[in-house]
Structure 1
Amino acid sequence: MAYDEVLAERVRELLEETDAVVAKKMFGGLVFTVQGNTVVGVVGDDLLVRVGPDSTPQALAQPGARPYEFRGRVSKGWVLVAGEVLDDGVLDDWLELGREAAAELPPK
């Protein structure tokens, strides 16, 4: 599956402002890791965001957000956000949520 290269570049630039980022092809798209943990990814035209278990209900209540399904199963701790809602401020908020969730995990 192809991914939105413009969105991927926006994500990379914003994450690299504060973190050492590694990009990997995964989940049918491109994911961005910090200290070995996936923070976010670009899948098709959408943003895949790691969210903490306590943040999931609030994340799913945001415009354009929906559960992430992989191989027919809903993946806990992940949310897909529609690309059309990702203006700069909204994208920053989602990236911060992903950073916070990944920071709770031990480095790999």
Structure 2
Amino acid sequence: MGYDLDLAERLRERLAAEPGVREKRMFGGLAFLVDGHLAVSASGRGGLLVRCDAGDQDALQRDPRVGPFVMHGRPMTGWVHVDVDGSVGEADLDLWLDHGLAFARSLPPR
């Protein structure tokens, strides 16, 4: 399964005006990096990966569309996976993007 092209375009449109953002194909998906740090990605497994503060992870996962990001059978701290389809509104997408952007911007530039 490849990444969702419609989701990738929605991300691209919403992030176009953000300073320091560039896109890069990574891990079968399309990642959006801020100053060299991955913020969000249209996942190669489908859906959206969001980098977040570990302290926000439980609150984000209260949304039934959000779960842990699991890599090699292990949940990854500071990452969530969001089931995104065409019915997800811009406000929800913006919320997840805000988390990813805020976390990436909290890190020193690479």
> Normalization by structure 2: what TM-score?
0.90
Question: Identity over aligned residues, as a percent?
Answer: 39
Residue by residue over 1:40-67, the C-alpha shift from the partner in whole angstroms, topping out at 9 and shown as x without a partner, is 0011430100010111111111230000
- Decide whether the 8 Å contact of 1:46 with 1:80 is kept in 2: yes
Partner residue in 2 for 1:41: 41
User: How far, CA to CA, are the matches of 1:20 and 1:12 in structure 2?
Assistant: 13
User: How far, CA to CA, are the matches of 2:10 and 2:60 in structure 1?
Assistant: 21
Partner residue in 1 for 2:92: 90
User: How far, CA to CA, are the matches of 2:88 and 2:76 in structure 1?
Assistant: 22
Q: CA deviation at 1:15?
A: 1.1
Residue by residue over 1:61-86, the C-alpha shift from the partner in whole angstroms, topping out at 9 and shown as x without a partner, is 12300000112111110000001363
Q: State the AA in 2 paired with 1:49.
A: V
User: How far, CA to CA, are the matches of 1:66 and 1:24 in structure 2?
Assistant: 24
Residue by residue over 1:19-55, the C-alpha shift from the partner in whole angstroms, topping out at 9 and shown as x without a partner, is 2321112233111001000000011430100010111
Unaligned stretches of 5+ residues in structure 2: none
User: How far, CA to CA, are the matches of 1:100 and 1:89 in structure 2?
Assistant: 16
User: How far, CA to CA, are the matches of 1:54 and 1:100 in structure 2?
Assistant: 13
Q: State the AA in 1 paired with 2:57.
A: T
> Normalization by structure 1: what TM-score?
0.91
| TM alignment of 1:61-80, pairs within 5 A | 61-80=62-81
Rate the CA distance shift 1:28–1:73 in 2: closer, same or farther, 3 A. Answer: farther
How many residues were matched structurally?
Answer: 108
Q: Which moved more, 1:75-84 or 1:24-33?
A: 24-33
Structure 2 counterpart SS, 1:6: helix
Unaligned stretches of 5+ residues in structure 1: none
